Chains A and B, each alone.
Chain A
Amino acid sequence: MNDVISESQRPRGLAIFHIDTPLLLGLLALMGFGLVVLYSASGQSQAMMQAQLIRLGLAFAVMVVFAQISPLTYKRWGLPVFLLGLLMLVAVLLFGEIGKGAQRWLNLGFVRFQPSELMKLAVPLAIAWFISNHNLPPKLWRLLLGFVMCVIPTLLIAKQPDLGTALLIATSGIMVLFLAGMSWRLIVFIGALVSAFLPVMWFFVMHDYQKRRVLTFLNPETDPLGAGYHIIQSKIAIGSGGLQGKGWLQGTQSQLEFLPERHTDFIFSVLSEEFGLVGVVLLVSLYLFIVARCMLIATRAQDNFSKLVAGSLTMTFFVYVFVNIGMVSGLLPVVGVPLPLVSFGGTSMVTLLAAFGILMSIATHKRILASS
Chain B
Amino acid sequence: MRRQREAIQDHAAEAQLFKRRALVAFSLVVLLFVIILFNMYHLQVRSYHEYQTRSEGNRIKVVPVAPNRGLIYDRNGILLAENTPVHSLEIIPEQVADLTKTLAELAELIEITPEQQQSFLQDVQRQRRFNSIALKEQLTEQEVAILAVNQHRFPGVTLEARLSRTYPFGDLFTHSIGYIGRINSNDLQRLREQELAANYAASRDIGKIGLERYYELLLHGTVGYQEVEVNNRGRVIRTLRSDPAISGKDLILSLDVGLQLTAQQALEGLRGAVVALDPRTGAILAFYSNPGYDPNLFVHGISSANYNALLNSFDRPLINRVTQGIYPPASTIKPHMALIGLDQGIITPSSRIWDPGYYQLPNYSRRFRNWRRHGQGWVNVYGAIIQSNDTYFYDMAVRLGIDTISDSMKQFGFGQRTGIDIHEESAAIMPSRGWKRARFNQPWFPGDTVSLGIGQSYWTTTPLQLATSTAILVNRGDSVVPTLLQGTRFQGEFEAKSYQRQPAVRIQDPHHWQVILDAMEQTVNTREGTAFRAFQGTSYSSGGKTGTAQIVSIAQDAKYDADALQEQHRDNAMYVGYAPAVDPTIVVAIVVENTGGGGSTAAPVARQLFDYYFSAGVNQ
- Chain A contact residues, CB within 8 Å of chain B: 135-137, 175, 178-181, 233, 235-243, 252-253, 256-258, 272, 276-277, 280-281, 284, 287-288, 291-292, 295, 298-299, 304, 307-308, 311, 315, 318, 322, 325-326, 329-331
Contact = CB atoms under 8 A, between A and B. Distances in A.
Contacts of A136: 14, 17-18
A135 B237 CA distance: 66
A238 B43 contact: yes
Contacts of A292: 26
Given A181-B14, A308-B18, 16 more contacts: A136-B17, A181-B17, A238-B51, A239-B55, A243-B44, A243-B48, A257-B233, A258-B59, A272-B43, A272-B44, A277-B41, A284-B37, A298-B18, A330-B39, A331-B36, A331-B39
B51 A318 contact: no
B45 A242 contact: yes
B216 interface: no
B162 interface: no
Nearest to A136: B14
Given A242-B44, A284-B37, A329-B36, A178 B29 contact: no
B10 A281 contact: no
Query: What's the dominant secondary structure at chain B's contact region?
Result: helix
B78 interface: no
Given A235-B43, A239-B52, A253-B58, A325 B18 contact: no
A74 to B, nearest CB: 18
A299 B33 contact: no
A318 B32 CA distance: 10
7 contacts: A175-B25, A252-B59, A252-B229, A256-B231, A299-B22, A318-B29, A329-B39
A240 B22 CA distance: 37
B246 to A, nearest CB: 31
Contacts of A295: 22, 25-26, 29
Nearest to B24: A178
A179 B29 CA distance: 14
Contact of B51 (A239, A281, A299): A239
Contacts of B45: 242-243, 277
B582 interface: no
B347 interface: no
B616 interface: no
B50 interface: yes
Contacts of A308: 18
Query: What's the dominant secondary structure at chain A's contact region?
Result: helix
A287 B33 contact: yes
Contact of B19 (A253, A272, A299): A299
A32 B581 CA distance: 98
Contacts of A135: 10, 14
Contact of B58 (A252, A281, A284): A252
A213 to B, nearest CB: 19
A243 B49 CA distance: 11
Given A236-B54, A277-B45, A329 B18 contact: no
Contacts of A325: 36
A325 B40 CA distance: 10
Interface in B1-45: 10, 14-15, 17-19, 21-22, 25-26, 29-30, 32-33, 35-37, 39-41, 43-45
Interface in B176-230: 229-230
A233 B51 CA distance: 10
B36 A258 contact: no
B47 A239 contact: yes
Contacts of A180: 18, 21
